[in-house]
A = this chain, B = another copy of it.
Amino acid sequence: MRGEGRGRVKAIKQAIQERIGGGTYRPGERLPSERQLCLEFETSRVTLHEILIQLEAEGLIYREERRGWFVSPARFVYNPQARGHFALSALQQGRLPSTRVIDRQLVRPPARVLDLLDIPASTKMACIRRVRSIDGRAVLYVEHYFQAEVFPGLFEHDLSVSLTELYRDIYGFDYGRMKYQITPTAVSGDAAAALHVAGGSPALLVTRVNHGLNNGIRDCDFEYWRHDAILIEVDVPDA
């Protein structure tokens, strides 16, 4: 259903794009219903649906499950090298951040954590799962993993704030080097649910491994970003 398409797909898509660009449909607003757009553009629902999915892939629109299609707000600019500044950074961009803790558990490290951290499979790990929103819209689902004994009693604190600051302020812990990976994927399961997104929707996975200043590995996290909500920006100074 893709393609530069001889058919009407291209024309309809462009018409909708122009309405978004021209302000007929404004950021955050709902589009008319699928059936309505079908009537207007004289096409079938399957075809229209395909067009909406393409616009979703471009990051122009997004959907909330069973509620409809919405025009995407401006992207959140994110620097993965600046640790723990989600809230601050959002405020600086004139956006309203919020964080919800889904749960906290003690777990055996799952396979993908073992791949990253080079620790014994028997290590007791703490796992904190959170959802972060911008202007009321969930944009990020994160799972943090760290060795439970390193930050004893952390679960007693308010975990909706910057974990980096908690580590530093309460445990006097500072970070050293880090490694991050960025992979385009699709979300499913808990991540999809937390982001109010249909399973199979495109997303950006940012995986991070943090080392303590003494070079011991301390933690890692898995960040699933709504693909239309993020723009990664990194400044690299002179070598």
Give A residues with C-beta under 8 Å from B. 1-5, 10, 13, 46, 49, 53-54, 57-59, 65, 75, 80-81, 176-186, 188, 192, 198-202, 204, 213, 227-228, 230-239
Contact = CB atoms under 8 A, between A and B. Distances in A.
A59 to B, nearest CB: 6
**Do most interface residues of chain A lie in helix, strand or loop, or is the interface mixed?**
mixed
B2 A201 contact: yes
Contact of A200 (B49, B54, B183, B186): B54
12 contacts: A2-B53, A3-B65, A4-B198, A5-B199, A13-B200, A58-B185, A75-B183, A81-B236, A177-B236, A182-B182, A184-B204, A202-B227
Contacts of A238: 176-177, 213
A49 B53 CA distance: 13
Contacts of A230: 183-184
B182 A232 contact: yes
Contacts of A10: 199
Contact of A199 (B4, B46, B53, B182): B4
A188 to B, nearest CB: 7
Given A81-B236, A236-B177, A237-B177, A2 B184 contact: no
Nearest to A3: B198
Contacts of A80: 234
Given A58-B185, A178-B235, 18 more contacts: A2-B200, A2-B201, A13-B200, A53-B53, A57-B185, A58-B186, A59-B183, A59-B185, A59-B186, A80-B234, A81-B236, A179-B235, A180-B233, A181-B232, A181-B233, A182-B182, A202-B202, A202-B227
A227 B58 CA distance: 12
Contacts of A1: 49, 53
Contacts of A213: 238
Contact of A188 (B4, B179, B236): B4
A78 to B, nearest CB: 9
Q: Max chain B CB contacts within 10 Å: which of A3, A5, A188, A201?
A: A3
Nearest to A200: B54
